[in-house]
């Protein structure tokens, strides 16, 4: 009996094997066809409805809506002539009180601006005690206390409590080296401006070295020495300015040689010479270099050639720069502004500027070796817009040559021998060019 049932079942199984599967089959096909090639996503059937969907990644909840400003606080600040800038949501994000002459009494008004991230109290008559209000503004990223003449180190205790502060301007305040111990607690600080803080010296830099995220440091003081600069060696500065530091020499710049990310370098009125620039020969991103009033003669400019593709601004005014070094300017073809006030150069030297097709501003004030004969070189500069020839030896014929300068829009001829008639003719030929004489 069992044998007979088996004989009947075998044909039925064979018949079933030859039947085509219905189109509504829910089981997924194999990843490969008869050739073994992987099918594309568009050829793959959807997974069975009984298979649970893959769990999606948890979504980050949207930020809560910004708390609205206190309308009364906004109104009062505007009446005080505080300049307020609002964001797209209509909340104040920047406040500039430079022209408001604020006192401690008005500072609590800023607590009514929950979206405020930038606050300038420049010229405000606030005291150290008044700055306690900053504790209610933890969202601040930028704070300017420029020319707050009553600010001392004690006030910096309250500044140090701002956890998100990235930019701090303390220009022309009474802070000292000791106060920088509080500033060093600002772990997110990226920019610090201490220009005009004349009690700042080497001790301040010893504290500042703890600001590991600092990329922009500005100093203007007589008290910093070569030894003080050594504290900055491990900072990754992109902008460094130290002006009027008459104790800084070329040797003191050696610790800065590793700052290869530098884009702005200002050494105006320090005692550095050409050898000092050698410390920056490995910098390739310098965009702005200011050497006015230093002891360079020009030979050190070769150290800037590594940044020739980046350099846009160069100031070598009031130095001993002269004709012998003009050829070192030729590779700097990306320059847009060149300040050469009081340089010892002549007409022939101006030919070295021929390759500066992007040069927009040129200052040759008190370059007494420059005469009308040099003007053809300047007239050919295709992008030149602003030209200062004050106290040069240009005459009428030289001014006529400058009529060919295609984009010239500002020309200073003060204290030159150019006649009124020549100036009138020039202005007729170039009505869009403003002439000062």
The total domain count for the chain is 1
What CATH number does the domain containing 91 carry? 3.80.10.10
C-alpha 83, offset from chain centre: 23
Q: Is the whole model's pTM more than 0.85, yes or no?
A: no
Residue 149 lies in a domain: yes
Query: What's the gap between Cα 93 and its chain centre?
Result: 20
What pLDDT was estimated at residue 57? 54
Residue 217 counted as domain residue = yes
Q: Is residue 147 part of a domain?
A: yes
Q: Is 302 in contact with 325 (CB distance < 8 Å)?
A: no
Q: What CA–CA distance (Å, rounded) separates 173 from 178?
A: 14
Angle ∠(247,317,172) on CA atoms, nearest 5: 50
- Enclosing domain of residue 151: 70-248
DSSP assignment letter at 106: G
Of 363, 402, 366, whose CA–CA distance to 386 is shortest? 363
For residue 337, tell me if it sits in a domain.
no
Q: Which of 157, 169, 77, 156 is nearest to 123 (CA)?
A: 169
120: closest CA among 147, 88, 87?
A: 147
Q: What is the pLDDT of residue 66?
A: 76
Residue from 151, 144, 136, 156 nearest 96 by CA: 144
pLDDT recorded at residue 62: 59
- 100 located within any domain: yes
The answer to whether residue 198 sits within a structural domain is yes
- List the end-to-end C-alpha distance of the chain, in Å, as a whole number: 128
CA distance linking residue 303 with residue 195, whole number of Å: 27
Q: Does residue 133 belong to any structural domain of this protein? A: yes
Give me the pLDDT at residue 55, please.
Answer: 46
Q: What is the pLDDT of residue 20?
A: 44
Contact present, 346 and 324 (Cβ < 8 Å): no
Residue 369 placed within a domain: no
Kindly give, in sequence order, each residue whose CB lies less than 8 Å from that of residue 299, ignoring residues fewer than 6 positions away.
274, 324, 325, 328
Q: Which two tokens stand for residue 426?
A: 């020039």
Q: Specify the pLDDT at position 28.
A: 36
**Tens-binned pLDDT, residue by residue, of the chain (437 aa):** 343 433 334 344 343 444 444 443 333 333 333 333 333 333 333 343 344 444 455 676 655 667 999 999 999 999 999 999 999 999 999 999 999 989 999 999 999 999 999 999 999 999 999 999 999 999 999 999 999 999 999 999 999 999 999 999 999 999 999 999 999 999 999 999 999 999 999 999 999 999 999 999 999 999 999 999 999 999 999 999 999 999 999 999 999 999 999 999 999 999 999 999 999 999 999 999 999 999 999 999 999 999 999 999 999 999 999 999 999 999 999 999 999 999 999 999 999 999 999 999 999 999 999 999 999 999 999 999 999 999 999 999 999 999 999 999 999 999 999 999 999 999 999 999 999 99
Contact present, 27 and 46 (Cβ < 8 Å): no
């Amino acid at each position: 009996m069992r044998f007979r049932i088996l004989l009947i079942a075998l044909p039925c199984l064979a018949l079933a094997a030859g039947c085509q599967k219905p189109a509504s089959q829910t089981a997924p096909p194999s990843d490969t066809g008869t050739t073994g090639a992987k099918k594309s996503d568009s050829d793959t059937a959807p997974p069975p409805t009984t298979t649970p969907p893959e769990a999606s990644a948890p979504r980050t909840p949207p930020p809560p809506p910004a708390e609205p400003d206190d309308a009364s606080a906004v109104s009062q600040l505007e009446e005080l002539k505080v300049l307020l800038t609002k964001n797209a949501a209509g909340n104040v994000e920047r406040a500039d009180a430079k022209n408001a002459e604020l006192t401690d009494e008005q500072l609590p008004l800023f607590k009514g601006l929950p979206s405020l991230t930038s606050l300038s109290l420049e010229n405000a008559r606030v005291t150290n005690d008044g700055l306690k209000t900053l504790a209610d503004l933890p969202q601040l990223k930028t704070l300017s206390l420029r020319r707050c003449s009553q600010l001392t180190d004690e006030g910096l205790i309250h500044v140090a409590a701002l956890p998100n502060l990235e930019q701090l301007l303390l220009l022309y305040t009474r802070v000292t080296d000791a106060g920088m111990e509080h500033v060093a607690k600002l772990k997110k600080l990226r920019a610090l401006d201490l220009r005009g803080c004349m009690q700042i010296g080497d001790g301040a830099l010893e504290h500042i070295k703890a600001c590991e995220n600092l990329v922009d440091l500005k100093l203007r003081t007589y008290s910093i020495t070569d030894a003080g600069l050594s504290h900055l060696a491990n900072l990754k500065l992109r902008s460094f300015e130290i002006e009027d530091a008459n104790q800084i020499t070329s040797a003191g710049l050696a610790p800065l040689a590793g700052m290869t990310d530098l884009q702005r370098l200002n050494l105006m009125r320090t005692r550095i010479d050409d050898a000092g620039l050698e410390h920056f020969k490995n910098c390739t991103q310098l965009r702005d270099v200011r050497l006015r009033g230093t002891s360079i003669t020009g030979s050190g400019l070769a150290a800037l050639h590594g940044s020739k593709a980046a350099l846009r601004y160069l100031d070598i005014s009031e130095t001993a720069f002269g004709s012998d070094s003009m050829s070192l300017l030729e590779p700097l073809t990306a320059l847009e502004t060149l300040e050469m006030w009081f340089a010892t150069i002549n007409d022939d030297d101006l030919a070295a500027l021929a390759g500066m097709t992007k040069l927009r501003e040129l200052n040759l004030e008190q370059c007494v070796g420059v005469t009308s004969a040099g003007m053809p070189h300047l007239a050919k500069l295709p992008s030149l817009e602003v030209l200062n020839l004050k106290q040069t030896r240009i005459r009428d014929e030289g001014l006529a040559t400058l009529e060919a300068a295609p984009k010239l829009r500002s020309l200073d001829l003060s204290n030159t021998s150019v006649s009124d008639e020549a100036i009138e003719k020039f202005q007729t030929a170039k009505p869009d060019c403003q002439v000062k004489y």
